[in-house]
Amino acid sequence: MSKNAEALAIIRARAGDAPVRLGLVLGSGLGHLAGAVEGVAIPYADLPGFPHAAVSGHNPNFVIGLLEGVRVAVFGAREHYYEKGNSAAMRPALEVLKALGAQSLIVTNAAGSMRPDIPPGDLMLLSDHINYSGLNPLIGEPTDARFVPMTDAHNPALRAALTASATANGIDLKQGVYAWYSGPSFETPAEIRMLKLLGADAVGMSTVPEIILGRFLGLECAAISTITNMAAGMSDEKISHEHTKAMAPLGAAKLERILRHFLGNLR
């Protein structure tokens, strides 16, 4: 049996085999959102092919169950490229999500802002992204399916629905372009000035590989950043992972309200 088939069998044995509608990847400091789901938590360590590396501030559980009546699967943690140098680290887990029946994927992250009008504590819906790392999780994929179109990779209908849910909750959900920088070191002020010139509005160390993989698998995708800091050189505040973890919960409460409303209205 393949690793994915083994993982699927374990998930179905513990959580039942009703199809999942949507997958949600939680970013730094957002892991506790998995607790909003009424369902079963399965440690990644029990699931072949799921990432085992862990970054503090992440919750290494796969949670499957109901949120606002919709069957969802939540990845409480991701493996970042910077952990082991594998940009395709989330591929098996996302393949399992697809096999569970998911149609949509919502990815979240913590990010630094390059826009003074999108300060820490705000949420930014990704209108698009820049793969500044030059890495790609589909390198080595032998089939023609690797030539994934990335126009509208951030699905317009999903974005419209998420924006409507934010508005309905009185939340100002900004939109902007996210640049993926590999990390784990933060960017220099000169790099941030460059990214601004290139048209980026926020910067982070994740998400882009998952959106590429999601599109490869035929999932409709959207992503939301919680802004935890102004990017390097843009404020006097010191940038650190501690700060990211401390600030992410500010956005998490808003994110939960948006997601609940969005799921409650999902067709």
Chain residues binding ligand HPA by CB under 6 A are: 110-112, 181, 186-187, 203-205, 228-229, 231, 239, 244
Nearest residue to ligand HPA, by Cβ distance, number only: 112
Q: Which of 53, 241, 243, 256 is catalytic?
A: 241
Nearer to ligand HPA, 133 or 169 (CB): 133
Those residues whose C-beta lies under 8 Å from the C-beta of residue 51, and which sit 6 or more positions away, are 44, 60, 77, 78, 79, 83, 89, 90, 93
1 catalytic? Reply is no
82 catalytic? Reply is yes
Nearer to ligand HPA, 106 or 110 (CB): 110
Taking alpha carbons only, the member of 59, 63, 79 closest to residue 71 is: 63
Please state, in angstroms and rounded to a whole number, the distance separating the CA atoms of residues 241 and 185. Answer: 10
265 catalytic? Reply is no
Nearer to ligand HPA, 7 or 111 (CB): 111
Beta strand pairing call for 104-113 and 123-130: unpaired
**Encoding tokens for residue 158?**
């999903």
220 catalytic? Reply is no
Q: How far is CA 147 from the centre of its chain?
A: 22
Taking the complex as a whole, the smallest distance from the CB of residue 204 to ligand HPA amounts, in Å, to 4
Q: Which of 102, 166, 205, 234 is catalytic?
A: 205
Taking the complex as a whole, the smallest distance from the CB of residue 19 to ligand HPA amounts, in Å, to 33
58 catalytic? Reply is yes
Taking the complex as a whole, the smallest distance from the CB of residue 81 to ligand HPA amounts, in Å, to 12
Nearer to ligand HPA, 6 or 191 (CB): 191
Based on its alpha-carbon atoms, the radius of gyration of the chain, rounded to whole angstroms, reads: 17
83 catalytic? Reply is yes
What's phi and psi for 179, nearest 5 deg?
-105, 135
52 catalytic? Reply is no
261 catalytic? Reply is no
Beta strand pairing call for 22-25 and 104-113: parallel
DSSP one-letter string for 130-159: E-TT---TTTT--SGGG----TT-B-HHHH
110 catalytic? Reply is yes
Those residues whose C-beta lies under 8 Å from the C-beta of residue 188, and which sit 6 or more positions away, are 232, 233
Taking the complex as a whole, the smallest distance from the CB of residue 122 to ligand HPA amounts, in Å, to 13
Q: Which of 28, 61, 87, 109 is catalytic?
A: 28
213 with 98: CB under 8 angstroms? no
Q: Which of 111, 153, 229, 231 is catalytic?
A: 229
Beta strand pairing call for 70-75 and 202-204: unpaired
Taking the complex as a whole, the smallest distance from the CB of residue 164 to ligand HPA amounts, in Å, to 27
Nearer to ligand HPA, 42 or 231 (CB): 231
Which residue numbers are catalytic? 28, 58, 80, 82-83, 110, 205-206, 229, 241
